[in-house]
Amino acid sequence: MKSQRVMLSALVGLLIIASLAACSGGTIGGTKAPVSGGSGGKSFNVTATEFEFKPNKFEVTAGQKITFKITNKGTVEHNFVILSPDGSQELSKITTQPGETQTLEFTPTEATTYPIDCNIAGHKEAGMVGELIVK
């Protein structure tokens, strides 16, 4: 009889400790971790020359942050412009001088194809174009 009661109170004690531990564990789990938007971005090294981008086709997933590292290995200024799907607006743009590397970040929201070009007069026509294909 007596040993049974001791067992019971020991069990209750264990339960209290267990629930306390669960509680404090919950508090630790609940502390706010800083959100660092690092949801698996993608980066591309792109070379710009007269008159092309290499590579010039980029496949990504919607919502994925993309980092383009554009290196100008040509002899004149080039830029790298991401256009709206219909080509009417410049969404993001970076300009590079010969020998320079510049970084451009872009997060596409739509699953579509964004045209890319160098908008310096005549360059697009000469072949400085690309595509950002978002799935």
Residues making contact with Cu ion (CB under 5 A):
78, 118, 120, 123, 128
CB of 56 to Cu ion, least distance (A): 12
CB of 77 to Cu ion, least distance (A): 7
Residue placing its CB nearer to Cu ion in the complex, 102 or 112? 102
CB of 93 to Cu ion, least distance (A): 12
Residue placing its CB nearer to Cu ion in the complex, 24 or 103? 103
Residue placing its CB nearer to Cu ion in the complex, 104 or 128? 128
- Asked, as a colleague might, if the bond just before 106 is cis with ω within 30 of 0, I would say no
Say what the alpha-carbon torsion angle 58, 112, 77, 69 is, to the nearest 10 degrees. Answer: -40
Of the candidates 121, 108, 117, 37, which has an alpha carbon nearest to the alpha carbon of residue 76?
Answer: 121
- Report the C-alpha gap between 40 and 112 in whole angstroms: 20
Tokens matching residue 75: 């002899």
CB 58 within 8 A of CB 106: no
CB of 46 to Cu ion, least distance (A): 12
Residue placing its CB nearer to Cu ion in the complex, 56 or 107? 56
